[in-house]
Amino acid sequence: MTVGILGLGLIGGSLARAYALEGHTVYAAEKDDSMLSFAILAGAVHGKLDADTIPGCDLILLAIYPDGSASWLEENAPLVSPSALVLDCCGIKQEICHRCFPLAEHYGFTFVGGHPMAGSQFSGFKYSRANLFDGAPMVLVPPVFDNIDLLERVKQAMVPCHFGSFSVTTAEDHDKKIAFTSQMAHIVSNAYVKSPTALEHKGFSAGSYRDLTRVAWLNPQMWAELFLENRENVLFELEHFIGSLTAYRDAVAAGDMAELVSLLEEGKQRKEAIDG
C-alpha cells in the first residue's frame, strides 16, 4: 500500500512510523523541510508527498490543524486517485467534514472523518512512535452510516496502526463529546497550574497533581484553534464547570459542611455511574 501523510507532528509522525514499519511506502508533506529530511533518514518516510506522488496513494492521512487539512485537500483534490481513501486525524470534525465530503463526492475518491484517541503531552516528530495507537480507540465519521463495506475498508487500511476499537458517530456528536472528554481536560489542566502555589509544589505532590496537570503541557496554537472551532460546545462545558466550581466555593466560604459533603457525594456517585 502507498500511503500519503500530511504533517509529521506527533500524530502524523507516528502514523508514518507505523506504516513504514510494516513495509508500506510512505510519502509525506511537511512545511519544515529539515523535519521531512529527518523523517526520511529515520526510515519513517520514503519521499515527498507532492503532485508527482499524490496520484499513486491508496491512502491519504491528513494530520495537521483542521483548517490546514481541509485547505490542503481542497487544493490537491484533483490529484487524488478516485480509488483512494482519505481520512483526517483532526480533533474536531464538523468543519472538516463539511468541507471535505463534497470534495470527495465531486472528484470521486472516498473521504472519512477520523479521530485517533491517542496522544501525548509532547508534540513533534521526535516524540512520535510506531506503537502510539496500539490498543487505542479510533472514532470514524463516514459520509453514510449503513455502508458496512466502507467501514471494513477503513479498518483494513488502518491495520498497521493496531487500533483497539472503532466507533462510528456523526460530526456533531463527536464535537459535543470531545469538548467534554478532551478539550475541557486541557483547559482545566492548563488553568489549574496558573496558581501561584504551583511554583512551590515540589515535595508536596504525587499522583493527583501529575494526573491533573499532565496535559497542561500542550501545543497552544493547535488547541486554541480547536477550542474556537468548537466554541459552542466548549462554552457549554465551561459554563457548567464554572457553575459547579462556584457551588463548591460558596460551600467552603460559608463553612457549610452539609452542602460540601453533598456536593462531593454527588460527584463521587456521578463518577461511579459513568465509569462503573
- Blockwise average pLDDT, block size 10, the chain, 276 residues: 97 97 97 94 97 98 94 98 97 95 97 92 87 96 92 97 96 97 96 89 77 89 93 98 97 98 96 88
Instruction: Note the pLDDT of residue 228.
Output: 95
Which of 129, 151, 169 is where one domain is finished? 169
* CATH label of the domain that carries residue 241: 1.10.3660.10
Which of 143, 169, 195 is where one domain is finished? 169
**CA–CA dist 112, 118 (Å, integer):** 18
Pair 149, 69 in one domain: yes
Pair 206, 151 in one domain: no
pTM: 0.88
Query: For residue 235, what is its C-alpha cell?
Result: 462554552
Pair 135, 211 in one domain: no
Q: How many other CB atoms are there within 10 angstroms of residue 31's CB atom? A: 11
Domain that includes residue 224, residue range: 174-275
Which of 142, 169, 196 is where one domain is finished? 169
Pair 192, 160 in one domain: no
* CATH label of the domain that carries residue 112: 3.40.50.720
Instruction: Note the pLDDT of residue 203.
Output: 65
Pair 231, 104 in one domain: no
Pair 12, 64 in one domain: yes
Pair 52, 156 in one domain: yes
- Number of structural domains found in the chain: 2
- State the angle between helix axes of 66-76 and 94-107 in degrees (0 to 180), rounded to the nearest 10: 10
Instruction: Note the pLDDT of residue 200.
Output: 79
